[in-house]
Chains A and B, each alone.
Chain A
């Protein structure tokens, strides 16, 4: 098996930079590679925000077309993917507003609610709780569980925890401050944990972890 050595000096460069440059020079096949690389992720983000399959399909197409049209405006100082996510989030929010007859929907709305910041369900889970469900049951549970979260929470969780973006890249993609991303991430994680607990508790009769000391009031 042959190995291809990386070209000296290009080790630091994100592979998207070269693809974007080729698209700018008129190579549409380079854009094909970018679409293939990110279409699944963009679809998921759109689905999280719109909660509607057809809207998510339209958003995904529109986001890639818009990014292609506006590629000249893309500044190399941000990553192509974070720029693309921002377009997709805006397109998704527009769809949502249309469906809610113009009602304002924002990723950045200040959510003052304290809901979910104090863990209430403190019983332990079964060792591998997901194995008590079939793949399709588990998929339904995970969808149902995340559905009720505010759009800003869902997208932050998707980008940070599922897609593995850094806090900084997530903030840039969503146009949020770093503290705002951190606050949404904590609340998203805790609310999902709380909601999943009802499915994943240890079965009655199995040993539960009890409190070792009285819990401090929050």
Chain B
């Protein structure tokens, strides 16, 4: 099963990154920082999802 949360954060990161050139220089740090935060959240969510999946598989193997 795909990690929908990671995909959502990745999408948000891309949307925010697209806004960087449209933002005034004075406030450009906001979309830059936010795009990075969403990228980190996407990676963290993906890793969390993968570790939960492998733990579930491990438990499944033990129960058999």
Co-assembled chains A and B = no
- Seen from chain B, the residues whose Cβ lies within 8 Å of a Cβ on chain A are none
